[in-house]
Structure 1
Amino acid sequence: MAADPPSAPQRTRPHAAARPARWAADAVAMMREGARVRLDYSAQSLWRVDRMVEEIRREDAPYDAVRETLRGLGAYAGEVLVRHAGAEWWASGGDHWIRTPDGRLWDPIDEARRCYGGHGSLRLLCLDALGQ
């Protein structure tokens, strides 16, 4: 069976998206079941995500205890960009970034960590990436 030529449009998500898409889906399930917060992959839902990170920060939870939750919420923000900005996941050395169609790279997973430290916003990152 012949492979598609390199210029053929992709029919499936790139391999780099597999892990962050799973992390995002896990975060959606955790928020729904644990916090009773519904996330719908809309840009507006990132306001709720920022508030949840702020609540986690206020509880003064140790970073190690919330590392995977923050990774999932950052991946969720990345998935919002994938779905609404035509962005795609890129991966290298275990790190994952979002590349928007204009070629800029964004790191929503690191931005979630910055939010936890009180210095970031997933909502503002996405608005910036969307050019709003």
Structure 2
Amino acid sequence: MDGDRTSTLPGAHGVRSYVAGFVARLTERHRLPLDYTAASLRLVDLVVDGLRRDQPERTRIEPVLWGLGAYTGEVMVRRVGGRWIDFDAGQRALFGQPVGIRMPDGRYWNPVGKVINRFEDGSEESVQRFYLTLHGRVGRRALL
């Protein structure tokens, strides 16, 4: 992503309200049940697959992909205990995004990048499977 486009995306402090607005617009227009559950991430996979079918240039639909990625991250925040962070320069270079998720176990995740990968590479890059790799990590950490 170029500097101009990423500079217009919200930082970590603004992602939650950005996602709320994105979900409101998407559910109003398309009646998608985006309810911040793990099951709703299957819908993210399906929406991205639908976008791929039309074979648009990624730059044309990047705001939608970013919104779906931010929604995926917000599910991680609400369900698995992650928190939004602003990536530092090294992380931005690695992940190609301005924000991401830091999990309670200290690992960093890039849900926006995962959605973009789904668009570019197809079903082998499942957003729902991405989320399911996190399952149970909060509970194990709490036991340490």
Normalising by the residue count of structure 1, what TM-score does the alignment of the two structures yield? 0.80
Unaligned ranges ≥5, structure 1: 1-14
Q: Say how many residue pairs are matched.
A: 118
Name 2:51's counterpart in structure 1. 56
2:55 & 2:64 partners in 1: Cα distance? 14
**Offset at residue 64 of structure 1 (A):** 1.3
- Aligned match of 1:107 in 103, 106, 110? 110
* 1:98/1:105 contact within 8 Å kept: yes
* 1:26/1:72 contact within 8 Å kept: no
| 1:126 matches 2:131 | yes
**Offset at residue 18 of structure 1 (A):** 2.6
1:95 & 1:20 partners in 2: Cα distance? 11
* 2:65/2:115 contact within 8 Å kept: yes
Name 2:67's counterpart in structure 1. 72
* 1:23/1:71 contact within 8 Å kept: no
- Aligned match of 1:116 in 106, 115, 119? 119
Normalising by the residue count of structure 2, what TM-score does the alignment of the two structures yield? 0.74
Where has structure 1 moved over 3 Å in runs of 4 or more?
A: none
1:38 & 1:103 partners in 2: Cα distance? 31
**Pair member with larger Rg:** 1
Percent of aligned positions that are identical: 36
Aligned pairs (5 A) from 1:37-56: 37-56=32-51
1:102 & 1:68 partners in 2: Cα distance? 30
1:131 & 1:97 partners in 2: Cα distance? 20
Higher share of residues assigned helix: 2
Amino acid at match of 1:128: T
Bigger Cα displacement from structure 2, 95-104 vs 17-26 = 17-26
Measured on the aligned residues, the alpha-carbon RMSD in Å equals 2.0
Unaligned ranges ≥5, structure 2: 1-9, 90-96, 138-144
